[in-house]
Amino acid sequence: MFKEVLRDVVERTEGGIAGLVMGFDGIPLEQYLKSGNTMDVVTMGMEYSVVLGHITKAAEQLDTGAAHEVAIRADRQTTVIRYINSEYFIALTLAPHGNIGKGRFLLRMVSPKLLDELT
């Protein structure tokens, strides 16, 4: 089920490259890489899971409420990460010209389905 959701999100987002469902412990549940791409999705997710832990702690310490989404925009790619719950997240990586707005929307729409599967 996770693979189909990831494929749908990546393929429906202009500039989509890869999708990942991973635990905050760095253990991947599923990944999808668009044909022709060679990026190491799992390593990227593991590195970002550490950053997400810091963001979660900072939000708690600042008493701003729970974090829900993070976007990391770099020269060669953008990664949008949506928290599914306190244990898992979904990430979408896009090319620099990718449609970030549509990617964010699709991640928000699929998160409840993924949460149902995880509980």
Q: Is pTM beyond 0.85 here?
A: yes
Q: Identify the residue whose tokens are 């987002």.
A: 13
Q: Please give the domain boundaries of the chain with CATH numbers for all domains.
A: 2-118 (3.30.450.30)
pLDDT at 4: 95
Q: What tokens does 40 get?
A: 């190491």
Going by pLDDT thresholds of 50, 70 and 90, the confidence category of residue 13 is very high
Going by pLDDT thresholds of 50, 70 and 90, the confidence category of residue 69 is very high
